[in-house]
Amino acid sequence: MNKQYDVAAYVWPAYTGDEPRARQFWEEGVGEWQTVKNTGPKFEGHLWPRKPVWGYVNEADPNVMEMEIAAAADHGVNVFIYDWFWYDKRPCFEYCLNNGFLKAKNRERMKFYLMWANHDATLAWDIRNSDLGGGCVIWNGGADRREFENVCRRVIDNYFSQPNYYKINGEPVFEIYDLNNLLNGLGGADKLHEAFNWFRAETKKAGHSGLHLQLTLWSDKARYFSSIDKNRTHTGAEMVSLAGFDSVTHYQFVHFLDIDRDYPDIIKDAAAEWEHLSKTYPVPYFPHVSVGWDANPRYKTFKPGVVRKNTPAEFEKALHMAKAYADARPGQPPLITINSWNEWTEVSYLEPDDIYGYGYLGAVKNVFVP
């Protein structure tokens, strides 16, 4: 019997012109495709421009998402992790999920879950001003207790009961991106623990057996603190225990590795970090693989930090390593996270382009589809 793996790709829900709040960043009305269309090379050998094989499609259109779901599932990607935002006391960038994915007729082929992308919104999305730096905060990603409860009620009511919401041991999975922002908004580690207990209780009241809280890790050298607990800092492993997280994974190689080098060297260090985390954290670590990294499309001037030699063949080797990690841990769910389905402006995507075609999706299929 062939083993089933949960191959989960992050989705950046900005490739639509339907989202009103996106117009301040991409005024042409096609979402961040505007940046993709207008990007050129910043150095000799820079592989830009790049064009999507499917065109500059509207990912808030259910017909488009039916095509994308079919392509993903046929190639072994069976979970989407939607980046989910809450800014200025209301949700943001929900159109691709609500109007596209959830209205697709074949949505049952894919599971999904949410990663609350609770980082601050800065000028980085707006190429007209991004070179000024990320210090200008447009929307704060933090949330006090009242806003935290509003967030939780929305995801419980609108998403956890969806028939294809991804669960671990019967519990809906909810990932949190920026732990420091969460700590600062709620008022410290003790308040965070109380808020999580409330979240779990509310999830059970809604008819679920429990709640699986997942943390996005950054560097394991990071120390977590809040503006309230000024004299208390914690390692990531300590914070996981204090807050009550159930598992950890990563979002991007750039968050914990030197990525300004060749991909084969990067993935060796990534695999070593997986092993380290599996031994030092009190909860399961799910292995993460990034396709690449290059944020230059979002800037007018060159920004160092570009992954090199991240061909589909090398990406496939990284997937084999992640599969081996999962196989060596039969006691935990075989979940593997990938950055990403469509992070075009960070050059870390599975969607087919005019350079490698379906190469990256083909790599997933070679590893995970019997």
Separation CA 70–CA 75 (nearest Å): 9
pTM of the model: 0.97
CB 347 within 8 A of CB 52: no
pLDDT digits (tens, 9 = 90+) for 268-280: 999 999 999 999 9
| Domain ranges, residue 148 | 6-368
Q: Which residue has the tokens 């519990």?
A: 171
Confidence of residue 1 (pLDDT cuts 50, 70, 90): low
Tell me what the mean pLDDT of segment 344-365 comes to: 98
**92 within a domain of the structure (yes/no):** yes
CB 317 within 8 A of CB 367: no
For residue 134, pLDDT over 70 is answered with no
Confidence of residue 339 (pLDDT cuts 50, 70, 90): very high
- C-alpha to C-alpha distances, 102 to 109, 184, 339, 340, 360, nearest whole angstrom: 12, 33, 21, 19, 25
Which domain CATH number covers 289?
3.20.20.80
What letters, b where the CB count within 10 A reaches 16 and e where it falls short, cover 199-213? bbebbeeeebeebbb
Separation CA 144–CA 331 (nearest Å): 36
**109 within a domain of the structure (yes/no):** yes
**1 within a domain of the structure (yes/no):** no
How many residues in total does the chain contain?
370
Confidence of residue 227 (pLDDT cuts 50, 70, 90): low
Q: How many domains does the chain have?
A: 1
% pLDDT > 90, the chain: 92
% pLDDT > 70, the chain: 98
What letters, b where the CB count within 10 A reaches 16 and e where it falls short, cover 324-359? ebbeeeeeebbbbbbbbbbbbbbbbbbbbbeebebb
Structure tokens at 41: 């090379």
Q: Which residues contact 125 (CB under 8 A, 6 or more apart)?
A: 14, 25, 26, 32, 298
Confidence of residue 70 (pLDDT cuts 50, 70, 90): very high
Confidence of residue 178 (pLDDT cuts 50, 70, 90): very high
**170 within a domain of the structure (yes/no):** yes
Tell me what the mean pLDDT of segment 34-48 comes to: 96
Mean pLDDT of the chain: 95
For residue 228, pLDDT over 60 is answered with no
Tell me what the mean pLDDT of segment 82-104 comes to: 97
Query: E strands within 27-157?
Result: 79-87, 90-92, 111-116, 121-122, 137-139
Q: Which residues contact 253 (CB under 8 A, 6 or more apart)?
A: 259, 266, 270, 288, 290, 293, 307, 339
